[in-house]
Amino acid sequence: AKELGRNNYQFFTRKLDDKIQEKLALGNHLRRALEREELSLHYQPQVDIRTGRIKGLEVLLRWNSSIQGSVSPAVFIPIAEETGLIVPIGAWVLRCACDQNLKWQEMGYPPQSISVNISARQFREPMFIESIAEVLKETGLDPQWLEIEITESIAMENVESSIKQLKRLKELGVTIAIDDFGTGYSSLNYLRKLPIDTLKIDQSFVQDIGRDENGEAIVIAIIQLAHNLHLTVIAEGVETEGQLDFLKYKNCDEIQGYFYSKPRPPVEIEQYLKREKVS
């Protein structure tokens, strides 16, 4: 048994070493990804649940590495955060998304709000607000067409400083959404004080619809909470018609998910925007 224990231990440390090596390698590739132009943006429609019209587009980063192939954001975003690379990468995402949005407006499509994900590291950067103000100024994008998404856990960690930071953001004229709502530990008293516009119901609860009554109860509670606070509420990760029907019946405002569309590159999004134009 002792022998086995030691082997297991060696096996375990070797696996751990491999993991660390792998992460270091990825971090090094990621450092070059920007200059090699391996990063790109996909957009996923956010749709009005009653009219079916597009109300916004969430920007999702994609990395097609020349060495690793396509790497999931779930893998490389945490590495970007640990290494601090998220700051230059995040700045690029913001800039590129604003440019794209403006380009669509110039092409004559009905204006859309684009939602950009912001990581903890970016949000706490001293120059974060200034960098957003600068992108808005340089691109000339009307701030009402930019939405900033931060997760509930980021907002609630160090909440007094978050309130200050979010207020400064609001003053720029952009809108604010709280992402992955329901997974963190919101104090309702603080939630009331955050100058936000939208709550995004975390997809884990949406996936519970039709399967787990407790999850459904949370979805219903978040919709009511949002409306009581005069916020828009959007369900993410909507994959089935059953989920859509439930959310419609419970008065959710918007949906986002594979049921309507997965995240797609700009040229493919233009097909949707074309339809918005004629209808």
> Which option in Ca ion, ligand C2E, none does residue 257 bind, with CB closer than 5 to 8 A by kind?
ligand C2E
Judged by CB under 6 A, the residue of 148, 219, 237, 273 near ligand C2E is 237
C-alpha–C-alpha distance, residues 22 and 7, integer Å: 22
Residue 56 contact among ligand C2E, Ca ion, none, beta carbon within 5 to 8 Å by kind: Ca ion
Cβ-closest residue to ligand C2E? 257
Whole-angstrom CA distances from 217 to 114, 172, 206, 220, 257 are: 30, 36, 11, 5, 20
Site string for ligand C2E, 156-195 (x = CB under 6 A): -----------------------xx---------------
Q: Alpha-carbon torsion 139, 140, 141, 144, what sign?
A: positive
Cβ proximity to ligand C2E, 77 vs 114, nearer residue:
77
Alpha-carbon gap, residue 180 to 199, rounded angstroms: 8
Q: Which of 74, 188, 267, 278 binds ligand C2E (CB under 6 A)?
A: 74
Using CB under 6 A as the binding rule, whether residue 70 contacts ligand C2E is answered as no
Q: Select the span of 18-26, 112-120, 191-199, 270-278 touching ligand C2E (CB under 6 A).
A: 112-120
Query: Rule CB under 5 A: is residue 56 a binding residue for Ca ion?
Result: yes
Residue 38's contacts (CB-CB under 8 Å, 6 or more residues apart) are 32, 63, 64, 65, 66
Helices 73-83 and 86-106: angle between axes, nearest 10 degrees: 120
Asked whether position 253 contacts Ca ion by CB under 5 A, the answer is no
Candidates 33, 49, 60, 174: give the one binding ligand C2E (CB under 6 A).
60
Give which of 93, 155, 81, 167 is closest to 129, Cα–Cα. Answer: 167
Q: Quick one: CA dihedral 10, 13, 18, 19, positive or negative?
A: positive
Under the binding rule (CB under 6 A), the answer on residue 266 touching ligand C2E is no
What Cα–Cα distance (Å) separates residue 167 from each residue in 23, 129, 170, 196? 36, 10, 5, 9
Provide, rounded to whole angstroms, the least separation between the CB of residue 242 and ligand C2E.
Answer: 13
Dist. CA 135–CA 133, nearest whole Å: 6
The piece of 25-33, 114-122, 125-133, 268-276 that touches ligand C2E (CB under 6 A) is 114-122
Q: Per-residue x/- marks for Ca ion, 134-153, CB under 5 A?
A: ---------------x----
Q: Is 125 in the site for Ca ion (CB under 5 A)?
A: no
Residue 266: which H helix or E strand, with range? Answer: helix 266-278
User: DSSP letter at 141?
Assistant: -
Positions touching Ca ion (CB under 5 A) are 56, 117, 149, 179-180
Q: Which residues bind ligand C2E (CB under 6 A)?
A: 44, 59-61, 72-74, 77, 86, 90, 93, 117-119, 179-180, 203, 236-239, 257-258, 263
